[in-house]
Amino acid sequence: MIRVEGLVKKYGEFVAVDGVDLAVGSGEIVGLLGPNGAGKTTTLRVIVGILEADDGRVEVDGHDVSSQPLDAKRRLGFVPDRPFVYEKLTGEELLRFSAGLRGRVGPEVDRRIDELLELWDLGPWRDELVESYSHGMRQKLILSSALVHGPSTLVIDEPMVGLDPAAARLLKRLLRQFADQGGAALISTHTLEFAEALCDRLEVIRSGTILASGTMEELRRQAATESGDLEEVFLRLVGGIEERRIARALTGDPRA
Amino acid sequence: MRTWREFTWLVRVKALSGLARGAHGAGRAGRIALVLGVGGLTLPGIYLLLLRFLRSLQSTAEVGPLLAAKLLGLGLMLLLSILLLSNLIAALSSFFLARDLPTILAAPVDWLAVYGARLVETGVSSSWMVALVLVPVLAAYGRVYGAGPAYVGYAVLVIVPLLVIPAAAGSAVTLLLVRVFPARRTRDLLGVIAAAGVALLVLGLRMLRPERLVNPEGFRNLMDFLAILRGPSSPWLPSQWTADALMGFLRGRADPFLPVLLWGTAGGVTALGAVLHQQHYSTCYTRAQEGATRRVRWGRLWNGLGRLLAPLGPQRRELVLKDARVFFRDATQWSQLIILGVLVVVYVYNMRVLPLRSSESVGRYLSSLVTFLNVALTGFVLAAIAARFVFPALSLEGRTLWLLRSSPLPASSLLWSKFWSGMVPLLVLALALTLLTTAGLGVGPEVTLLSVVTVTGLTTTFTAQALAWGIAYPKFESENAAQIPTSIGGLLFMLGALLTLGIVVAFQLWAMRGWVRSGLPWRQARPPSAEEMGVAIGFTVALCAVSGALAYRDARRRLERLEA
């Protein structure tokens, strides 16, 4: 599980995250939604220990990320927003490397690697260098590397990027099962349909601050809309662009 | 007209983005100071040295002018081969791998404008440094021959086509290579070709045995020598045409045919390149987007190495294995070892052929002095190799640093792995160089021991210092490992390493002065005393240990605070 209290992160004078509180319990999938530049990626990177917080507290499974980073990271699996990996390793070598960094070796790791590569249809590519993988294949490989050591908590930044419909569906089922088995998952995404279908709770962030949080029903109430899908709720909360301005941008006609 | 407008627009955009990068990038002030400092010292230095040399040649009536012309021809041929090689590599990036290409190719831009703009980009990025070096060279020739202002215009007239020809030819060859290989394989291939080319050049220069020039008995016949000097070295190469054109102008006998020949060739090669571009570029660009499907080889070797490293524990073992795999699978990295190997062979050979035994009486004294020179040169080579291979260690993690930072990997383990992966190969090289050269110099076991301890200490501290500066000044965005040490951090590392080296060698010379002087002809030769050895070794070990430990501690602190 994840607990974040009063998280603040600045880049120089710019405040990227400003007092964020959120929690992801065991067996729960929480979606972090927000417009570009809202502070989603920064929040996730502080949670997984890549960035240091300027203020506030982050715990993973009861371990403080700042004072007990290694204990917290042992329980985490992380998928970044852009799938950069070592181009000169093969898919299998990358998974073995990822497991080795977490102190996992031996037949159990071999079995996990086989299972994950087969699950994502990467079996035929296991001995190919990553440099020859497509964007979607890299995403699948990084998802596998986040799972290879059997984490209790997953932090995923934009999971759907590059995935085909079959892989996207597989990911949804996988995350549901992960949560049903007691795992905790925090997911940042722009794919509102994915978030609506999968997440138990949603956190809407803008300008580094949580605007609204709760279940879909609770968000509808906060957005003062009786019905409507997540897109409508989201746009009501963070604001959208008027139809007139879109028409003007398309036609270049100021009278539109 | 439209094509010309598109061409100038593409060139302008590229120039503006390059200028913006220079003006706003990190370490701007330092970069400017470095460029001005190095340029301000090097270019006038080349001018003054060449001026002096050419004037001394002028005083030799028959041979001097011939040698000056020969020297210009050889120099331009060397520059032409360097230009051809660098244009080949630059063309791969600008024509096939640049990130802005999809945007440009999706726009309704004429193919000729794209070809022209990319050719200019390739040529400028490959040739600006060569063009800069040519300025003091040509100025020195002009001054010696008393050339007027028209010489400047004439030099530009015959040098510009010399820069255009390798740019157009290199781009065309790269296009044909990509037609056959995927672009990423071509990059590997060009890396190996470049490294092998440099290695052959070094070997070739060594095989010319320039030391024979100072040995008058080496000349069989003066007439033969003059005949060789009078003949052109390579009449089919544009570099020779340029040299002949320049020398003709300087002697007041300008041949109007040579500029026409140069411009005609430049135009012809560019036109040929344009035709090839029109016919093949689309297919080649498509091929360049294909991933280089590569199944790894040597699987058993890697498994064996993995088993060998098992005692290190899973984290450190995987880190060392990963670094070794990435290094030996990247041709742009391992191919540098070819150059390194050739330099080592040439260095060891040079040490062995030093004429120390020409006079028995001073031979001993010279040998003992050369021992220290050898340590200094080995140290310099080690510092340069550490700058090239150890300094970029963290920067090369680059965009994949998230994988390490989000894992439960202590900074100390990461640093440990980088330190030993860098130090062990460096130490093997250092010891091989030292033992081979000291054996050739014929020094005793005490001095060999001192040399071995010194290079071991230097290797240790240089590795730690290179890591510390590399972590303090990382370049995560760089895709070319060879460019990473050319930063301010790389310069600071070299200064620190050379300072350490200077102190060590100077102190050893002071501590061992009694032994060195005992080699003088009128003294009684003796081996170094235990006291001399103790002081020299003790100081060296202490200095290397303290500087290495401080650098290592600094590296660990910075690594712990590093954000990815």
Does B564 lie at the interface with A, CB-CB under 8 angstroms?
A: yes
* B428: confidence class by pLDDT, cuts 50, 70, 90: very high
- Digit-coded pLDDT (tens) for A42-89: 999 999 999 999 999 999 999 999 999 999 999 999 999 888 889 889
Instruction: Look at residue B336 in the predicted model and tell me its pLDDT.
Output: 78
Residues in chain A closer than 8 A to B324 (CB atoms): none
CB contact under 8 A, B291 and A133: yes
- Digit-coded pLDDT (tens) for A8-43: 999 988 999 999 999 999 999 999 998 888 999 999
Find the helix packing angle between B530-561 and B488-511, rounded to 10°: 160
Domain-located, residue B502: yes
Q: How far is A68 from chain B (nearest CA, A)?
A: 10
A127-153: average pLDDT:
93
* B217: confidence class by pLDDT, cuts 50, 70, 90: low
User: Among candidates B317, B497, B270, B320, which has minimal Cα distance to B391?
Assistant: B497
Higher pLDDT, B7 or B59: B7
B159/B228 same-domain check: yes
Residues in chain B closer than 8 A to A108 (CB atoms): none
Instruction: Look at residue B121 in the predicted model and tell me its pLDDT.
Output: 92
A146/A161 same-domain check: no
Does A105 lie at the interface with B, CB-CB under 8 angstroms?
A: yes
B357/B495 same-domain check: yes
A157/A236 same-domain check: yes
Q: Whole-angstrom Cα distance, residue A7 to residue B241?
A: 70
B156/B214 same-domain check: yes
As a whole number, the mean pLDDT across chain A is 90
| Domain containing residue A186: CATH number | 3.40.50.300
Chain B's closest residue to A95, CA to CA, is B318
Residue B225 pLDDT greater than 90, yes or no: no
Q: Looking at A150, A175, A194, which one is the last position of a domain?
A: A150
Instruction: Look at residue A29 in the predicted model and tell me its pLDDT.
Output: 95
- In eight-state DSSP terms, residue B414 is H
Residue A119 pLDDT greater than 80, yes or no: yes
Q: Whole-angstrom Cα distance, residue B178 to residue B35?
A: 35
Mutate to test the interface with B, among A101, A133, A158 (most CBs of B within 10 A): A101
Domain-located, residue B302: no
CB contact under 8 A, B315 and A90: no
Domain-located, residue B310: no
A139/A243 same-domain check: no
Cβ atoms within 10 Å of B297's Cβ, excluding its own = 10
A140/A111 same-domain check: yes
Domain-located, residue A244: yes
Q: Whole-angstrom Cα distance, residue A32 to residue A19?
A: 15
B453/B494 same-domain check: yes
Does B524 lie at the interface with A, CB-CB under 8 angstroms?
A: no
- Digit-coded pLDDT (tens) for B45-63: 889 988 988 888 877 766 7
Q: Count structural domains, chain A.
A: 2
B246/B389 same-domain check: no
Q: For residue B180, list its beta bridge partners.
A: none
| Residues A210/A22, Cβ–Cβ less than 8 Å | yes
Q: Which token pair is A232? A: 């409508």
Instruction: Look at residue B227 in the predicted model and tell me its pLDDT.
Output: 59
Pairing state between β A14-24 and A184-188: unpaired
- Per the structure, the complete domain to which residue A105 belongs is given by 91-150
CB contact under 8 A, A101 and B318: yes
Residue B214 pLDDT greater than 50, yes or no: no
B458/B345 same-domain check: yes
In this prediction, what percent of chain B has a pLDDT beyond 70?
86
B199-214: average pLDDT:
64
Does A115 lie at the interface with B, CB-CB under 8 angstroms?
A: no
Chain B's closest residue to A42, CA to CA, is B564
CB contact under 8 A, A127 and B295: yes
Domain-located, residue A83: no
* B34: confidence class by pLDDT, cuts 50, 70, 90: low
Mutate to test the interface with A, among B309, B402, B405 (most CBs of A within 10 A): B402
Torsions phi, psi for A209 (to 5 deg): -125, 140
CB contact under 8 A, B299 and A78: no
B137-165: average pLDDT:
93
Q: Which token pair is A93? A: 């070598």
- Per the structure, the complete domain to which residue B425 belongs is given by 315-561
B69/B165 same-domain check: yes
Instruction: Look at residue A201 in the predicted model and tell me its pLDDT.
Output: 93
Instruction: Look at residue B355 in the predicted model and tell me its pLDDT.
Output: 64
Residue B171 pLDDT greater than 50, yes or no: yes
Q: Looking at B271, B287, B303, which one is the last position of a domain?
A: B287
Nearest to B294 among A102, A104, A132 (CB): A132
Residues in chain B closer than 8 A to A145 (CB atoms): 403
Q: How far is A247 from chain B (nearest CA, A)?
A: 23
Domain-located, residue A82: no
B249/B365 same-domain check: no
Residue B209 pLDDT greater than 70, yes or no: no
Q: Whole-angstrom Cα distance, residue B464 to residue B490?
A: 13
Instruction: Look at residue B212 in the predicted model and tell me its pLDDT.
Output: 55
Residues in chain B closer than 8 A to A60 (CB atoms): none
- Digit-coded pLDDT (tens) for B479-515: 667 778 877 888 899 999 999 999 999 999 999 888 8
Q: Whole-angstrom Cα distance, residue A90 to residue B547?
A: 39
A109/A35 same-domain check: no
Residue by residue, DSSP assigns chain A as: -EEEEEEEEEETTEEEEEEEEEEE-TT-EEEEE--TTSSHHHHHHHHTTSS--SEEEEEETTEETTTSHHHHHHTEEEE-SS----TTSBHHHHHHHHHHHTT--SHHHHHHHHHHHHHTT-GGGTTBBGGG--HHHHHHHHHHHHHTT--SEEEEESTTTT--HHHHHHHHHHHHHHHHTT-EEEEE-S-HHHHHHH-SEEEEEETTEEEEEE-HHHHHHHTT-SS--HHHHHHHHH----HHHHHHHHH--TT-
A39/A107 same-domain check: no
As a whole number, the mean pLDDT across chain B is 84
CB contact under 8 A, A98 and B403: yes
Domain-located, residue A142: yes
Domain-located, residue B34: no
* B441: confidence class by pLDDT, cuts 50, 70, 90: confident
- Digit-coded pLDDT (tens) for A236-251: 777 766 777 777 888 8
- In eight-state DSSP terms, residue B295 is B
Residue A147 pLDDT greater than 90, yes or no: yes
Higher pLDDT, B369 or B558: B558
A239/A198 same-domain check: yes
* B363: confidence class by pLDDT, cuts 50, 70, 90: low
Domain-located, residue B305: no
Residues in chain B closer than 8 A to A76 (CB atoms): 406
Domain-located, residue B35: no
In this prediction, what percent of chain A has a pLDDT beyond 70?
98
Higher pLDDT, B65 or A58: A58
Domain-located, residue A127: yes
B68-75: average pLDDT:
85
Domain-located, residue B293: no
Q: Looking at A130, A150, A170, which one is the last position of a domain?
A: A150
In this prediction, what percent of chain B has a pLDDT beyond 90?
38
B467-480: average pLDDT:
86
Q: Count structural domains, chain B.
A: 2
Domain-located, residue A86: no
Chain A (128-167) residues lying within 8 Å, Cβ to Cβ, of chain B: 128-129, 131-134, 145
Q: Which of A175-179, A206-210, B517-521, B530-534 has the lowest mean pLDDT?
A: B517-521
A159/A228 same-domain check: yes
Does B34 lie at the interface with A, CB-CB under 8 angstroms?
A: no
In this prediction, what percent of chain A has a pLDDT beyond 90?
63
B279/B364 same-domain check: no
Residue B199 pLDDT greater than 80, yes or no: no
Does A15 lie at the interface with B, CB-CB under 8 angstroms?
A: no
Does A71 lie at the interface with B, CB-CB under 8 angstroms?
A: yes
A238/A161 same-domain check: yes
Nearest to A50 among B299, B402, B408 (CB): B402
A130/A146 same-domain check: yes
Domain-located, residue A50: yes
Instruction: Look at residue A136 in the predicted model and tell me its pLDDT.
Output: 92
Q: Which token pair is A129? A: 């260098």
A179-189: average pLDDT:
95
Q: Looking at A101, A125, A150, which one is the last position of a domain?
A: A150
CB–CB contacts below 8 A, A to B: 99
B408/B530 same-domain check: yes
- Digit-coded pLDDT (tens) for B246-299: 999 998 888 889 999 999 999 999 999 999 999 999 988 887 776 555 667 777
B532/B410 same-domain check: yes
Residue A175 pLDDT greater than 90, yes or no: yes
Q: How far is A161 from chain B (nearest CA, A)?
A: 18
Residues in chain B closer than 8 A to A85 (CB atoms): 400, 403
B415/B275 same-domain check: no
Residues in chain A closer than 8 A to B99 (CB atoms): none
Domain-located, residue B301: no
CB contact under 8 A, A97 and B318: yes
Burial level of B346, CB count in 10 A (0-12/13-18/19+)? middle
